[in-house]
Amino acid sequence: MYTNDKGQTLIEVVLAVAIAVIVIYALVSLATISMLYAQSALRRSEAVKLANAGMEAFRLERDMGGFDSGCLVPSGLGNTYIISDSPTTCAFLEMTSNPYESITPRTNVIYKRSMTVEDVGADKKNVRVTVKWTEGTSERKVSMSGVLTNWR
């Protein structure tokens, strides 16, 4: 018996190429999305490290000078701090009227860190460190807070 198979090979080739294109597109999309999530995780990890460094600076300031040193004053604009390489009064911190300190580490993302102190008791101070950064069109934020006690 004779069958007419003309053009069947062409349809098979077109169908195989279409399936290959769809699979390759899916793999490239998956790789792109994975890279975006990895970059986002790196930025968040860096922001957490910057917030932790701010908390540690307050702990060191408390341990070196105590609450009576005048470095942990929670009043007005004096309750906002930055970490300073050459502080004037305190060991690590410097009071500032600017609510956010700009930091650009190795990822070339501009982070803005805010560190504040408020009284919560006779020998207790609440420290809050917030780090913000822009990712795409949205703003991301990491916050840490803790209560420091006068253990001396």
CA 109 to chain centre: 9
Q: pLDDT (tens digit, 9 = 90+) per residue, 38-87?
A: 999 988 999 999 899 888 888 887 887 776 666 665 545 556 676 766 66
Look at the chain and report how many structural domains it folds into.
1
Report the distance separating Cα 2 and Cα 54, nearest Å. Answer: 84
Q: Per the domain annotation, does 1 fall within a domain?
A: no
Q: pLDDT (tens digit, 9 = 90+) per residue, 17-35?
A: 999 999 999 999 999 999 9
Q: Per the domain annotation, does 2 fall within a domain?
A: no
Q: Per the domain annotation, does 124 fall within a domain?
A: yes
Q: Per the domain annotation, does 3 fall within a domain?
A: no
Question: Whole domain around residue 12: which residue ranges?
Answer: 8-149
Q: Per the domain annotation, does 90 fall within a domain?
A: yes
For the chain, the average pLDDT equals 80
